[in-house]
Amino acid sequence: MGAKPLFILLCSGEHEKIQMTAMMASVAAVSERPVTVLVTMNALAAFEKGLDRSRRYKGGNFSKLMIDKEAPDAFGLLGQGKALGDLRIHVCSMALDIHGWTLDNLADDLFDGELGLTRFLSDAEAGDLVTM
């Protein structure tokens, strides 16, 4: 029997929560656990195409420490999780609509398409669901 899938609902735009999502998702994926991340709400803004790191992340004390000490970047970790394991990253259809965006407005090479909440919740019944 395969490992129990992990589903992460990323709502927050806080750097610390985006980082923790990336760390959980990438480590779980490389540990042979299928992972699905759904990006929505305030998190969406961090994934806008063309943002440099100084504009992408907004956070507290730990955000500053991570930047000052050059902790692995969340986008880099997500990319590694996709390259080295089974990690899928989707964007919430509703959040895109509210922003007036399409997938083309989002960072390249991260997203596996749009996903609705109904499908995400249905899939998540088979695994563990974490909300950030």
User: Residue 27, interface with another protein (CB under 8 A)?
Assistant: yes
Beta carbons within 8 Å of 73's beta carbon, 6+ residues apart? 53
List the end-to-end C-alpha distance of the chain, in Å, as a whole number: 28
**Which residue has tokens 């999780």?**
81
User: Residue 128, interface with another protein (CB under 8 A)?
Assistant: no
User: Residue 30, interface with another protein (CB under 8 A)?
Assistant: yes
Which one of 21, 26, 40, 63 is in contact with another protein (CB under 8 A)?
26
Site for another protein in 68-127 (CB under 8 A): 69-72, 77, 80, 83-84
Q: Given the complex with another protein, which of 26 and 40 has the nearer CB atom? A: 26
In terms of Cβ atoms closer than 10 Å to its own Cβ (0-12, 13-18, 19+), residue 86 is middle
User: Residue 23, interface with another protein (CB under 8 A)?
Assistant: yes
Question: Nearest distance from residue 84's CB to another protein, in Å?
Answer: 5
| Selection from 130, 40, 126, 25 nearest residue 72 by Cα | 25
Q: Given the complex with another protein, which of 13 and 85 has the nearer CB atom? A: 85
Q: Given the complex with another protein, which of 30 and 110 has the nearer CB atom? A: 30
Burial 102-131 (b: 16+ CB within 10 A, else e): eeeebbeebbeebbeeeebeebbeebebbe
Residue ranges in contact with another protein by CB under 8 A: 23, 26-27, 30-32, 69-72, 77, 80, 83-84
